[in-house]
Structure 1
Amino acid sequence: MRPNINKFISCIILCLLPITALSATWSLTYPRPIEEGDLRDEYPLALLTLALEKTGVKYSLLPSERILLQGKALRQLKENREINVMWSMTDTQREKDLLPIRIPIGKGLIGWRVFLISKTAQARFNDVATVQDLISLDPVQGEDWPDTKILQANGFNVVTVKDHKRAFTAVTTNRADFFPRSVIEVLQELKTPAIAKELAVEEKLAIHYPTAFYFFVNKGNTTLARLIETGLQLAIEDGSFDALFLSSYEETLRQLDLDSRRVFHLDNPLLPELTPIDDKKLWYYPETSKGAEVN
């Protein structure tokens, strides 16, 4: 029965798109990363490709001609210049400026954070038992990242920098005590020899705040938004979304072992009201009960 239900749902969703959208060739341009082959882009690109394939449209998917850091990419997309799709963590301002496809592409893992610390600093974190203990240590974040405001709202003294490279340096030079990284990023970053030489994943702690990583398009590009959403919904219904997610992150989650960490749950005052928190199939929930879970 399940394949027939999926086929029925697929037909309904596809019928919601204009005929011209299905017959056109779509040119999608996303922000070129700082370094070619940046593995942080591997999963979003694979998922976007999967979504487009599910719709059956003809498409091209290419990086922008020049490198676009996140702040610049957000501005260019808002102004409908250079790019027409990007992926980023959501907040209220971004959803005012851009059109989000409200399906969390990383199933909420962007809000599960472990810490990159100096290789000699683990002892300082072993004594952290309460959120106040953790707040006494200074995290580093990008100056225009939503995470910065989230951490500040929860009482942290956040050291801010312009980009990722400066964030790593802030920890190695002791300007900051730790660099919170999402579980979908941290192990890939440690494959960079210069980072792995100086930094390590803290062994016992994690923080969590509810948030989502979305595909965004320009406010006026509603047809493209519906096209991407259609493909994502089809992939959810036939199981290929979860299959790609697990093949990408199952081993990472095993290595980081969130289940055994002390988790500090933080508030996210930037979480937009329309975030689909109650749709359980869209989120990943670690079994944190084995660790000491602290609110």
Structure 2
Amino acid sequence: MIKTCVVLLLLMLTSVDSFAASWRINYPRPLSESDRRSDYPLKLLALALDQTGVNYRLIASDRIMPQSKALKRLMDNREVNVVWSMTDEQREEQLLPIRIPIYKGLIGWRVFIIRKDMDSRFKYIQNLDHLLKLNPIQGSDWPDTKILQANGFDVITATDHSALFKMLANAQGDFFPRSVVEIWEEMKTDNPANDFVVESKLGVRYPAAMYYFVNKNSVPLANLIRIGLEKAIQNGKFDELFLEEHQAYLDKSELDKRTFYQLQNTYLPIKTPLHRKELWFENTEPVIQ
């Protein structure tokens, strides 16, 4: 069924001479020159567009945009016309999601940045109740914050990404949960004083998806990205790029040596394609409690 839909959509695009079209696709400029978190989403977006055969240009916004501002600009159809972000019900109401999790759900596999002086404290955690006594740090507008709060955590928040590391350094919180695909680059760029370490034995896990979002009215662009992603999934190029970009991070995270505490995500939209197993990372090694 999916294959048939992709073929039909490709025929629709070619019938309107899409190969002659030139698509200008503006995305949020990274927070700094050293911020590598946009690298993979941009590579995957380019891969998807390449699958369709269209002419396109990927152009960074003139200004640096924190995620909250980028989503607002996208909703207003100003400055950017594609943003990648973790989904929740509100974002899917305000924007148009392409429901293919670009990180295969690994955005919900979280391990912890901690201060070096907290390492011994974490060694004594034996269950989720013990972990709940500590305060995680998160962005105030992140879906993860609501998820952690709904699971019983007292979350310390800030609006600015760099401020979160300063808060952790100043002991305003106890740990900073980051996904296994984010944490290692952040340890390079946001740990200049070498104050932090990645806790080695624990993690939390909850169902989560990061999607490409476009403006509600940008249906042709959404269809174009969706077609390209589906084709890359079918021909194996999606998984090839995913592993090329993330296998080293997965190895470094040593998932098989960690205990992950399973959390609930009651904010996960009902249309999340959990039934499509090929879209999600699954590892049988980690201990899930």
SS in 2 for 1:189: helix
Gap change, CA 1:153 and 1:193, over 3 Å in 2: closer
Answer with 11-20 or 108-117: which moved more: 11-20
CA contact (8 A) 2:35 2:189 kept: no
Q: Does 1:14 align with 2:13?
A: no
| Distance of 1:252 and 1:203 partners within structure 2 | 14
Secondary structure, counterpart of 1:176 in structure 2: coil
8 Å CA contact 1:53–1:231 kept in 2: the answer is: yes
Give 1:87's aligned residue: 84
Of 149, 157, 176, 1:160 maps to 157
Residue 263 to residue 193, structure 1, CA distance change in 2 (3 Å): closer
The 8 Å contact of residues 21 and 223 in structure 1, kept in 2 or not, is answered as no
Percent of pairs identical after alignment? 49
**Match runs of 1:250-289 below 5 Å:** 250-289=247-286
Q: Which residue of 2 aligns with 1:44?
A: 41
d(CA) in 1 for partners of 2:4, 2:221: 22
Q: Secondary structure at the match of 1:110?
A: helix
How many Å separate the matches in 2 of 1:16 and 1:189? 42
Deviation at 1:192, TM superposition (A): 2.1
Assess if the C-alpha contact under 8 Å between 2:162 and 2:190 holds in 1. no
Matched with 2:234 is 237
Residue 136 in 1 paired to residue 133 in 2? yes
Structure 2-normalised TM-score? Answer: 0.95
Contact 2:165/2:190 (CA < 8 Å) preserved in 1?
Answer: no
Query: For residue 104 of structure 2, what is the aligned residue in structure 1?
Result: 107
- 8 Å contact 1:168–1:195 — kept in the other structure? no
Q: Deviations over 1:107-164 (max 9, x none)?
A: 0010000000001211111111111111100000011111100000000000001121
Alignment partner, residue 122 of structure 2:
125
Q: Please, which moves more after superposition, 192-201 or 111-120?
A: 192-201
Residue number in structure 2 paired with 1:222: 219
- Aligned match for 2:23, one of 13, 26, 29: 26
Counterpart Cα distance in 1 of 2:25 and 2:51: 16
TM-score, with structure 1 as normaliser: 0.93
Q: Deviations over 1:193-241 (max 9, x none)?
A: 7446111100100101101000000000000000000000010010000
Secondary structure of the 2:188 match is coil
Equivalent position amino acid for 2:250 in 1: L
User: 3-state DSSP class of the match of 2:135?
Assistant: coil
Q: Counterpart of 1:269 in structure 2: which amino acid?
A: T
Question: Cα offset for 1:22?
Answer: 3.7
Equivalents in 2 of 1:21, 1:57: separation in Å? 6
**Unaligned ranges ≥5, structure 2:** none
**Using the alignment, how far apart are the partners of 1:272 and 1:10 within structure 2?**
23
> Per-residue deviation at 1:185?
0.5
Q: Measure the CA separation in 1 of the matches of 2:95 and 2:106.
A: 22
Question: Partners in 2 of 1:186 and 1:259 — Cα distance?
Answer: 17
Give the match's secondary structure for 1:65: strand
| Distance verdict in 2 for CA 1:256–1:60, change over 3 Å | same
Distance 1:113 1:77, change over 3 A: same
Which region of structure 1 is more displaced relative to structure 2, 79-88 or 18-27?
18-27
- Which amino acid counterpart does residue 37 of structure 2 have in structure 1? R
SS at 1:191 equivalent: helix
Corresponding position of 1:207: 204
Q: SS of 1:288's equivalent?
A: coil
Matches of 2:34 and 2:84 in 1, distance apart? 16
How far the C-alpha of 1:74 sits from its partner, in A, is 0.6
Q: CA deviation at 1:7?
A: 9.6
Q: Quick check: 36-45 or 179-188, which moved more?
A: 36-45
Deviates most, 109-118 or 160-169 = 160-169
Residue 127 of structure 1 aligns with an amino acid whose one-letter code is: Y
State how far apart, in whole Å, the 2-side matches of 1:207 and 1:63 are. Answer: 33
Shift in Å at residue 288 of structure 1? 3.4
